[in-house]
C-alpha cells in the first residue's frame, strides 16, 4: 500500500466515457464535492464517442479535470489502463460516468493508500446499500453448478464477505498493486476484465474486499446499450475462454464437456421432445441443442453476461 507524498493528490479518479457526455456533469459535481476534503486527480478517458459527443464532453470538462484522453472504442479495460498511465496519484479509482462517489474511507482520503482491490457499496432507490462485490469466479466448480441447475443458480451473487471480484465501475486499487497485476487485460470485455484483475491480484497474494465507507450512487443513465453490429454473446464467450485459459485447470474443459454429454444435452433433448408431445411451442430446436455438442462454449454461462437482465450493475 503506497501513501501519497506531501502536497500530491491522494487519489486519481478515472472515468471511462462512451457517448455519455450527458452524464458527466453529475460525475464532476460529485467528484468536486469530494475534492473539498480529499485531494483528487481527475481523469476522463473517452472510448470512441461520436464526434459531437466528444466535443460536448470537452466543453464540459475543460478546466475541471487534470486530463482528458481521447481514444478509439477500445473497451473499458484498455481505457482504464490509459487513464492509469495519464495519472500519478498513489491510489486509483475506476468509475463509470453515471457513478457518483458519495464517500471514501478516511484512510484513503488522508492519502494513506488503498488496501488491496477495494469495491464499494451502492445506494439503492430505497436508501439501502448493496455491496458491489460478487462471490463467484467462473471456476470449474461454479460452472458445473451452472450447467446442472441452470436458471436456479444465482449468477451474480452479491457479497460483502471476501468477494471473489468487485465491479470495475467502482473499483479502487493501489497503483503499485495495479502495475504488479499488469492492469486490465486488454483482450477481455463484459466484466471479465474486472474479474480477471481481481483474480490476478488474489493470485499474487493480495486482498479483494468491499469497504462500507466507499459509497457510490449509480443511476444507470450511461449504461451500455445492446448494439446490432456487435455479437455480444460471441464477445462474452471469447472473453470466457481467455479467462478460463488464464485461471482454470487443464481438466476444466474436459470435465465440462463430459457433463455436457451425459447430462446437459440429454436433458435438453428430453425437454424438447416432451414439449412437442404436449403440443407446446418449442423454445429451442433440436438442431440448436445438438450444436451444443460441437460448440460447448454455447452453454457455458460463466459470469452470465451479456444479457441485460443479468447485468450486475
Please state the rounded mean pLDDT for residues 60-83: 97
Q: Please indicate, yes or no, if residue 312 is contained in any of the structural domains.
A: no
Here the cell at position 202 is 488474489
**Residue 256 and residue 132 in one domain:** no
Alpha helices per DSSP H over 150-231 = 175-181, 192-203
**Residue 267 and residue 211 in one domain:** no
Helix (H, G, I), strand (E, B) or coil at 7: coil
Lowest mean pLDDT among 110-119, 152-161, 193-202: 152-161
Q: Please indicate, yes or no, if residue 226 is contained in any of the structural domains.
A: no
> Is residue 284's pLDDT more than 80?
no
Q: Please indicate, yes or no, if residue 232 is contained in any of the structural domains.
A: no
Q: Please indicate, yes or no, if residue 128 is contained in any of the structural domains.
A: yes
3-state secondary structure 249-313: CCCHHHHHHHHHHHHHHHHHHHHHHHHHHCCCCCCCCHHHHHHHHHCHHHHCCCCCCCCHHHCCC
3-state secondary structure 65-89: CCEEEEECCCCHHHHHHHHHHHCCC
Q: What single DSSP character describes residue 158?
A: B
Q: What is the mean pLDDT of the chain?
A: 86
Check residue 302 and give its pLDDT.
Answer: 43
| 113: Cα separation from own chain's centroid | 22
> Is residue 265's pLDDT more than 70?
yes
- Host domain of residue 68: 11-218
* Contact assessment for residue 257 and residue 296, using Cβ atoms and an 8 Å cutoff: yes
Q: For residue 221, what pLDDT band results from cuts at 50, 70 and 90?
A: low
Check residue 260 and give its pLDDT.
Answer: 80
Check residue 193 and give its pLDDT.
Answer: 96
> Is residue 177's pLDDT more than 50?
yes
Check residue 204 and give its pLDDT.
Answer: 98
* Contact assessment for residue 201 and residue 177, using Cβ atoms and an 8 Å cutoff: yes
Q: Please indicate, yes or no, if residue 234 is contained in any of the structural domains.
A: no
Check residue 298 and give its pLDDT.
Answer: 53
Among 200, 218, 236, give the residue marking a domain's end: 218
**Residue 145 and residue 268 in one domain:** no
Number of domains in the chain: 2
Q: Please indicate, yes or no, if residue 126 is contained in any of the structural domains.
A: yes
**Residue 19 and residue 103 in one domain:** yes
* Contact assessment for residue 172 and residue 129, using Cβ atoms and an 8 Å cutoff: no
Higher-pLDDT residue of 69 and 285 is: 69
* Contact assessment for residue 144 and residue 259, using Cβ atoms and an 8 Å cutoff: yes
Among 169, 199, 218, give the residue marking a domain's end: 218
Please state the rounded mean pLDDT for residues 180-202: 96
> Is residue 172's pLDDT more than 90?
yes
**Residue 56 and residue 156 in one domain:** yes
> Is residue 304's pLDDT more than 50?
no
Q: How far apart are CA 110 and CA 249, in angstroms?
A: 42
Domain of residue 174, CATH code: 3.90.550.10
Please state the rounded mean pLDDT for residues 186-210: 96
**Residue 139 and residue 82 in one domain:** yes
Q: How far apart are CA 174 and CA 213, in angstroms?
A: 17
> Is residue 171's pLDDT more than 90?
yes
Please state the rounded mean pLDDT for residues 195-217: 98
HSE-CB for 68 with a 13 A CA cutoff: 20
Q: Please indicate, yes or no, if residue 89 is contained in any of the structural domains.
A: yes
Check residue 241 and give its pLDDT.
Answer: 76
> Is residue 123's pLDDT more than 70?
yes
> 117-123 and 165-166 as β-strands: parallel, antiparallel, unpaired?
unpaired
Q: Please indicate, yes or no, if residue 227 is contained in any of the structural domains.
A: no
Among 170, 194, 218, give the residue marking a domain's end: 218
**Residue 58 and residue 204 in one domain:** yes
**Residue 34 and residue 133 in one domain:** yes
Q: What is the DSSP string of 133-145?
A: EES----HHHHHH
Lowest mean pLDDT among 134-143, 282-291, 299-308: 299-308
- Exposure string (b/e) for 17-29, b if CB count within 10 Å is 16 or more? bbbbbebbebbbe
Share of the chain above pLDDT 70, in %: 82
Check residue 272 and give its pLDDT.
Answer: 81
**Residue 264 and residue 142 in one domain:** no
Please state the rounded mean pLDDT for residues 278-287: 68
- Exposure string (b/e) for 201-240, b if CB count within 10 Å is 16 or more? bbeeebebbbbeebbbbbeeebbbeeeeeeebeebbbbbb
Here the cell at position 99 is 457513478
Amino acid at each position: 500500500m503506497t501513501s501519497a507524498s506531501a502536497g500530491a493528490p491522494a487519489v486519481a479518479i478515472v472515468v471511462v466515457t462512451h457517448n455519455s457526455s450527458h452524464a458527466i456533469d453529475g460525475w464532476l459535481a460529485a467528484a468536486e464535492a469530494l475534492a473539498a476534503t480529499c485531494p483528487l486527480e481527475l481523469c476522463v478517458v473517452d472510448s470512441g464517442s461520436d464526434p459531437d459527443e466528444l466535443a460536448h464532453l470537452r466543453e464540459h470538462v475543460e478546466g475541471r479535470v487534470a486530463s482528458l484522453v481521447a481514444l478509439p472504442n477500445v473497451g473499458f479495460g484498455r481505457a482504464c489502463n490509459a487513464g492509469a498511465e495519464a495519472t500519478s496519484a498513489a491510489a486509483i479509482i475506476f468509475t463509470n460516468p453515471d457513478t457518483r462517489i458519495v464517500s471514501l474511507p478516511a484512510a484513503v482520503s488522508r492519502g494513506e493508500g488503498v488496501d488491496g482491490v477495494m469495491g464499494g457499496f451502492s445506494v439503492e432507490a430505497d436508501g439501502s446499500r448493496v455491496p458491489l462485490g460478487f462471490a463467484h469466479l467462473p471456476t470449474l466448480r461454479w460452472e458445473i453448478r451452472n450447467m446442472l441447475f441452470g436458471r436456479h443458480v444465482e449468477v451474480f451473487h452479491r457479497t460483502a464477505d471476501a468477494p471473489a471480484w468487485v465491479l470495475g465501475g467502482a473499483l479502487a486499487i493501489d497503483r503499485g498493486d495495479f502495475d504488479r497485476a499488469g492492469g486490465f487485460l486488454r483482450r477481455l470485455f463484459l466484466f471479465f476484465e474486472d474479474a480477471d484483475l481481481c483474480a490476478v491480484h488474489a493470485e499474487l497474494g493480495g486482498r479483494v474486499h468491499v469497504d462500507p465507507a466507499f459509497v457510490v450512487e449509480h443511476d444507470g443513465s450511461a449504461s451500455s446499450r445492446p448494439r446490432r453490429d456487435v455479437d455480444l454473446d460471441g464477445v462474452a464467450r471469447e472473453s470466457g475462454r481467455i479467462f478460463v485459459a488464464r485461471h482454470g485447470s487443464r481438466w476444466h474443459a474436459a470435465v465440462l464437456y463430459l457433463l455436457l454429454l451425459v447430462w446437459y444435452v440429454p436433458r435438453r433433448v428430453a425437454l424438447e421432445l416432451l414439449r412437442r408431445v404436449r403440443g407446446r411451442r418449442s423454445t429451442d430446436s433440436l438442431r440448436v441443442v445438438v450444436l451444443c455438442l460441437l460448440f460447448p462454449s454455447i452453454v457455458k454461462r460463466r459470469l452470465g453476461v451479456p444479457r441485460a437482465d443479468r447485468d450486475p450493475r
